[in-house]
Structure 1
Amino acid sequence: MLELFPEKECPNINAAFRKLHANLMFRSERAVVSISGGADSDMMLDMIQALEPEKNYPRDIIRYAWFDTGIEYTATKKHLDHLEEKYRIIIERIKAKTPVPLGCKEFGQPFISKRVSQYIGRLQAHGFNFKMWGNESFDFLYKLYPSCKAALRWWCNEWGPDSQININKCRLLKEFMIANPPDFLISDGCCKGAKKDVAHNFLRETKATINLVGIRKAEGGARATAYNSCFSEPSSKSEAAQFRPLFDITDQDKELYCQRRGVAHSDLYEKHGFRRTGCACCPFGSRFEQELQAADQLDPGLGKAARKIFGSAYAYTRAYRQFKAKYDAEKKSDKDQFSMFEDEI
């Protein structure tokens, strides 16, 4: 396999194979491979199968698991069937402890990103008045809400001048929320109950020694920036280590690999131009409007369900986008008027 991806030509892929081999050889007595049905997951699974685990790691117990969040595309489920047939494996379908529809009712709806939703949710839980406390200092607000330090640091841009965590990294979000405080609960709790907790429980029940996941640094987002390397040691003996075989794989690496190995992705990618898969029409996705349109064609019932589950988050996101567009238009108009005034002078 390394001959197909020589080190000089494909250093990242070559290194990824070497690390994968080492972990399957020495760390995977009981391994769980998390399958999402997405493009990164497809590449990771193909790399594992290319190393012929039954032949080269006969003592390993490797289990493949897909975590059903309760709002998934039919195309994703069909792709899992295809992967099972292609590689002659069994992908266990693990049902959510708290499916996304129930999680949104219980905890709140997702908005922009997991981190943003977490901080807004914490502020809401403490009765924070977004309109009233828009321009107060962190020190002043911390005296009023001493149990909400991290979220207040986000709201007041106190994570450092160049921090990606500050609210000002979401352009005009603070100004928008001051003018339009949310009238519904916001939270990332749906992710936790539908996937994170379920995966954790599955790893514990199977006594997994290592969990392989298809996270790439190049994909960005909170998941990718949460790690500095491809490997995380377990925090206790009862937990599994986490290995991210694709961590250093770039978009170009992935495209090259899939071309040479003939890796085909689900119809969501191949036929409908999706850039990601996961919970259908999740408001965290910047292209949720396009996903809704696609869902209406692919899974009409799913699109209808998504609008019911995430309706408030969709409306709030649209209002935020309109707020930014209006601000930009007014700023451009003011600039044009000033230019005309200068010309007259």
Structure 2
Amino acid sequence: MQAWPLARKIQVTQTRIMEWYYHYGGNVAVSFSGGKDSTVLLDMARRAFPEIRAVFVDTGLEYPEIREFVKTVPNVVWLRPELAFPKVIERYGYPIVSKEVARRIYYARKGSAWAFQHLAGLNKDGTPSRFNERFMKWRFLLDAPFPISDYCCTVMKKQPIHRFTRQTGAMQIIGTMACESAIRQNSYLKNGCNAFHKKEPTSQPMSFWLEQDVLQYLQFTGIPYASGIYGQITEQKGKLVTTGAHRTGCMFCMFGAHLEKEPNRFQRMALTHPNQYDYCIHKLGCGAALDYIGVPYAA
């Protein structure tokens, strides 16, 4: 499906959106981050249903250019998390390395046997696990002088959306793609695009898209997107790329930063958003966390 031409992907995605919409009698909402993926999703949804609502969670961690772009989009409900980011990292911990690693560090520190075993490269029964070997090199984080967890996304983004869904009954349509992480790939393989059967049903109708499809859609349709942060879409070595940021998400998120080539997200932030950089690195203490895992951040 990932190898399908864009026209077929658009057709199948809009079909999945329509199935979701009619299944819930139109009481649905598009989870809209202001990023390029959710911008494409919202455009496809509104081509079929112009009145469909969008929901934006104003975490305070978005790039200012993203927030300004969201303000230009009509019929968007703004939500806020109950805890600000400084309180989240104080209570739960810093989001470093990956959600999977951070979750295991958090629970291992609380005495969970399964988390200790995974960090030792073992299965629950104590036998060696090729799957869990990837966690072994991060076992040193158990001794880190700061808290670590994967709860940031849950508290800052998921909980406000869940509250909105409980209050309104509006079932979410989300622009995540399987190519973004192993977790999302496994979720798609297990649930498909429209997970009607889940305890908290969700629709991910773009799961089989690739980033190239998103950029091609934006270029082909010419719809507005947050060009203030992404820049222009150009072609380099046969691939579409953005001249600005490649991914936006939360400005202070450290997940995956160790995999980036220099200049990484924080080194770029130092040049493009110096005030946010200073707050993140020095006032919030993210610099110390990055130092501990060997990620450079000075411009």
Q: Same fold (TM over 0.5)?
A: yes
State the Cα distance separating 1:119 from its structure 2 match: 0.6
Aligned residue number for residue 143 of structure 1? none
- Gapped runs of 5+ residues in structure 1? 1-6, 55-61, 127-147, 322-345
Letter in 2 for 1:151: A
Match among 172, 184, 192 for residue 154 of structure 2: 192
Which digits, 9 at most, give the CA deviation of each residue in 1:186-216, with x for residues without a partner? 11222222112121111111122x2100011
- 1: CA distance between counterparts of 2:5 and 2:250? 38
Aligned residue number for residue 63 of structure 2? 73
Does residue 21 of structure 1 match 2:18? yes
Does residue 294 of structure 1 match 2:268? yes
Number of residue-to-residue matches in the alignment: 271
Aligned residue number for residue 101 of structure 1? 86
Aligned residue number for residue 232 of structure 1? 195
Q: How many percent of aligned residue pairs carry the same amino acid? A: 25
Match among 120, 132, 142 for residue 156 of structure 1: 120
- 1: CA distance between counterparts of 2:119 and 2:6? 46
Match among 164, 179, 192 for residue 202 of structure 1: 164
Match among 99, 102, 105 for residue 120 of structure 1: 105
- 2: CA distance between counterparts of 1:121 and 1:291? 25
Q: Which moved more, 1:277-286 or 1:114-123?
A: 277-286
Q: State the SS of the aligned residue for 2:57.
A: strand
- 2: CA distance between counterparts of 1:162 and 1:15? 36
Alignment of 1:1-345 (within 5 A): 10-54=7-51, 62-82=52-72, 84=73, 89-126=74-111, 148-159=112-123, 161-163=129-131, 166=132, 168-169=133-134, 172-174=137-139, 177=140, 181-208=143-170, 210-228=171-189, 229-233=192-196, 235=198, 239=200, 241-266=201-226, 267-270=228-231, 273-286=244-257, 287=260, 290-307=264-281, 308-309=283-284, 310-318=286-294
- 2: CA distance between counterparts of 1:260 and 1:302? 33
- 2: CA distance between counterparts of 1:220 and 1:19? 22
4+ runs deviating over 4 angstroms: none
TM-score by length of 1: 0.70
Which digits, 9 at most, give the CA deviation of each residue in 1:230-272, with x for residues without a partner? 1212545xx5x21111011123332332222113432222266
Q: Which moved more, 1:100-109 or 1:225-234?
A: 225-234
- 2: CA distance between counterparts of 1:99 and 1:75? 20
Which digits, 9 at most, give the CA deviation of each residue in 1:255-304, with x for residues without a partner? 33222211343222226622211211311142496322333344332111
The alpha-carbon distance between structure 1 residues 249 and 8, as it changes in their structure 2 partners (threshold 3 A), is: closer
Q: Which moved more, 1:254-263 or 1:288-297?
A: 288-297
- 2: CA distance between counterparts of 1:39 and 1:157? 37
- 1: CA distance between counterparts of 2:120 and 2:267? 37
Specify the structure having the higher radius of gyration (Cα): 1
Higher relative CO (Cα under 8 Å, sequence separation at least 6) belongs to 1
- 2: CA distance between counterparts of 1:215 and 1:12? 14
Over the residues paired in the alignment, what is the CA RMSD in angstroms? Answer: 2.6
Mapped contact 2:101–2:135 kept (Cα < 8 A): no
- 2: CA distance between counterparts of 1:186 and 1:32? 32
- Gapped runs of 5+ residues in structure 2? 233-242
The alpha-carbon distance between structure 1 residues 170 and 157, as it changes in their structure 2 partners (threshold 3 A), is: closer
Q: Which moved more, 1:197-206 or 1:297-306?
A: 297-306
State the Cα distance separating 1:28 from its structure 2 match: 4.5
- 2: CA distance between counterparts of 1:252 and 1:297? 27
